[in-house]
């Protein structure tokens, strides 16, 4: 079955850029009908959708983050990535990657295990 695994630095300094990667197994990130999303959850809080990239490479970002955000595909490594710039403490969260499909709509299944990112000097 499809599995996703996030990786990246656990600690990033304020004003820097966060780079995370989501490795995908059992399906190609460029196979039709798949949407690849990033979602985050501040400690003890709820869930916020960050954005998705389609199998074709087109993207849709949450307007609240759009000016700081880039999501890209790396088909050679079968993964997709997130870059979030100008970090502040408010960006401290567990970051998840997840899949949606064109058949199933933009619900998320499965999810990766998540990676905690702390923004602190």
Q: Which residues bind other proteins (CB under 8 A)?
A: 37, 46-49, 52, 60, 62-64, 96, 100, 104-114
- For residue 26, the minimal CB distance to other proteins (Å) is 17
CA–CA distance, 117 with 9 (Å, rounded to integer): 7
Token pair 């849709």 in the structure block, residue:
60
Nearer to other proteins, 16 or 116 (CB): 116
- For residue 45, the minimal CB distance to other proteins (Å) is 8
Nearer to other proteins, 47 or 75 (CB): 47
């Amino acid at each position: 079955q499809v599995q996703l695994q996030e990786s990246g630095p656990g600690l990033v300094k304020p004003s820097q850029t966060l780079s995370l990667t989501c490795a995908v197994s059992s399906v190609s990130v460029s196979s039709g009908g798949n949407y690849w999303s990033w979602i985050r959850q501040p400690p003890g809080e709820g869930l916020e959708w960050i954005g998705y990239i389609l199998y074709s490479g087109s993207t849709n970002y949450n307007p609240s983050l759009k000016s700081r955000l880039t999501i890209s595909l790396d088909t050679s490594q079968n993964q997709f990535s997130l870059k979030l710039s100008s970090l502040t403490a408010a960006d401290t969260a567990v970051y998840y990657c997840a899949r949606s499909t064109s058949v199933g709509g933009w619900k998320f299944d499965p999810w990766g295990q998540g990676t905690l990112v702390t923004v602190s000097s």
